[in-house]
Amino acid sequence: MIDIAILRSDPDRVRENLKKKFQDHKLPLVDEALALDGKRRALQTEGDSLRAARNTLSKQIGVLMREKKTQEADAVKVQVNANAARLAEIEKETEEVSEQLKAVMMRIPNFICAETPIGKDDSENVERKRFLEPKTPDFEIPYHLEILEKLNGIDIDSARRTSGQGFYYLTGDIARLHSAVLAYARDFMINKGFTYCIPPYMIRSSVVSGVMSFEEMDGMMYKIEGEDLYLIGTSEHSMIGRFMGQTLDEKQLPLTLTSYSPCFRKEKGAHGIEERGIYRIHQFEKQEMIVICKPEESEAWYEKLWQYTVELFVSMGIPVRQLECCSGDLADLKYRSCDVEAWSPRQQKYFEVGPCSNLTDAQARRLNIRYKTDKGAVYAHTLNNTVVAPPRMLIAFVENHLNADGSVDIPEVLRPYMGGKEKIV
């Protein structure tokens, strides 16, 4: 949610930002918000005037009563009661208009970074850097499900019977590899100075609406029937929600946290054979990183976060690249975002394994997360980034470490988490 002061002083800047994000259908929201803001301020002014008048009239009544001018005092009391009735109406109307204004403001997207490329969708994202040289072996690489099944590491058919499409059983050394990567990622981030957390896996609607737009919520979240609870789509949701309504001490910042959680997503629709299998699924596990910092520090943290993901994948021998997300591919709360993509030798292309985002103060305003300064309370900036999400990581892992005999090499950094094993056969 953007600062209403900017909307008042420079509405054209807001309109231009909507156009850059190809959200022209939201342009009427600017005038709607301005009208509601004007109405709210007019009501507040009238209310302040009536409160001031109440104090003046109360003093008049005291004077008249002391002078035994009962009839005149009663007339003033009538005016006081009328003012009180009107003030009650104003307070109720102000609350209603404020809620309407908040609903409109929450639909207006965050300002985008000057460095964000302008484009309609993810096809116009821009490659920035590559890390490790992509390699293609001299033998054919099977589809990732075939690799995993030959290693007795996955059971899709049973999962379809128990749970439906978009679920799987991991077994044996592949299940162990999945847990090993998560444990390695956890320790990797702890060694970077981050505090390890395990958050709640369900959150209330007040948190959901604070961490994402309504469109995203409808497309991602599973609601618990009969309760004000949602299953989290990523631990970022409950991790940021942890600080909802809090005013932090400036000395606490930056807060650098890394969290583990299962994640639950609707993931509507399929997108070709390569995105079936374990690419788009309803349940997976993930190691996340979250930063809450001062505004002047957020861009530096953005650069650090995505580079941590790159460093992790490179340490496991998986080639990756950084892709800057264009304006039309940014979610409404994001100021700037990039994807870390891993190389697929089978597809001869890169695919997303982790997004990194700077949301500036958009989430903090929705959730009222601030910190104390000498000049008063200031909204913090929030950032999030995927350290690793094993389902997609597993695809990149088995393809990049596959041998001609069907075995999969285990990089040295993971061997302590795999009981010293050097190969899955």
Tell me the CATH number at 23: 1.10.287.40
Residue 81 lies in a domain: yes
Residue 129 lies in a domain: yes
Q: Would you give the DSSP letter of residue 163?
A: T
Statement to judge: residues 254 and 288 lie in one domain: yes
Structural domains in the chain (count):
2
Residue 115 lies in a domain: no
| Residue ranges making up the domain that contains 171 | 122-424
Q: How far is CA 329 from CA 147, 298, 324, in A?
A: 32, 21, 10
The Cα–Cα gap between 352 and 325 comes to: 12
What is the sign of the dihedral through the CA atoms of 410, 413, 414 and 420? positive
At 172 the pLDDT is 96
The Cα–Cα gap between 15 and 357 comes to: 23
The Cα–Cα gap between 293 and 383 comes to: 8
Q: How confident is the model at residue 276 (pLDDT cuts 50, 70, 90)?
A: low
3-state class (DSSP) for residue 141: coil
Whichever domain contains 379, its CATH number is: 3.30.930.10
Helix ranges restricted to H, 297-348: 298-315
The Cα–Cα gap between 49 and 54 comes to: 9
Statement to judge: residues 279 and 360 lie in one domain: yes
Which of 75, 105, 135 is the last residue in one of the domains? 105
The backbone torsions φ and ψ at residue 128, rounded to the nearest 5 degrees and listed phi first, read -110, -50
* Helices 172-190 and 298-315: angle between axes, nearest 10 degrees: 140
Q: CB–CB of 104/36 below 8 Å?
A: yes
Statement to judge: residues 172 and 57 lie in one domain: no
| Averaged pLDDT, 294-317 | 97
Q: Which of 281, 239, 230 is nearest to 261 (CA)?
A: 239
Statement to judge: residues 260 and 369 lie in one domain: yes
Other CB atoms within a 10 A radius of the CB of residue 273 amount to: 10
pLDDT tens, position by position, 344-367 = 999 999 999 999 999 999 999 999
Statement to judge: residues 179 and 259 lie in one domain: yes
At 273 the pLDDT is 47
Here the tokens at position 288 are 């996340």
Which of 43, 72, 105 is the last residue in one of the domains? 105
pLDDT at 187 over 60: yes
The Cα–Cα gap between 103 and 391 comes to: 36
Helix ranges restricted to H, 152-233: 156-162, 172-190, 205-211, 214-220
Here the tokens at position 323 are 């892709």
Residue 113 lies in a domain: no
Which of 78, 105, 132 is the last residue in one of the domains? 105
Q: β-pairing, 195-197 with 255-264? A: parallel
The backbone torsions φ and ψ at residue 424, rounded to the nearest 5 degrees and listed phi first, read -105, 125
| Averaged pLDDT, 275-295 | 88
Q: What does pTM read for this prediction? A: 0.89
Cβ neighbourhood burial of 191 (10 Å; 0-12, 13-18, 19+): exposed
Statement to judge: residues 268 and 312 lie in one domain: yes
Here the tokens at position 86 are 């009107």
Q: How far is CA 192 from CA 256, 258, 305, 390, 401, in A?
A: 9, 10, 10, 20, 26
At 136 the pLDDT is 87
Q: How far is CA 306 from CA 53, 74, 326, 339, in A?
A: 58, 71, 16, 8
Residue 383 lies in a domain: yes
Statement to judge: residues 159 and 89 lie in one domain: no
H or E stretch including 263? strand 255-264
Mean of the per-residue pLDDT values of the chain: 92
Q: CB–CB of 238/203 below 8 Å?
A: yes
Q: How confident is the model at residue 24 (pLDDT cuts 50, 70, 90)?
A: very high
Cβ neighbourhood burial of 288 (10 Å; 0-12, 13-18, 19+): buried
To the nearest whole percent, how much of the chain has pLDDT over 90?
79
Per DSSP, the residues of 42-56 read: HHHHHHHHHHHHHHH
pLDDT at 238 over 70: yes
The Cα–Cα gap between 227 and 236 comes to: 21
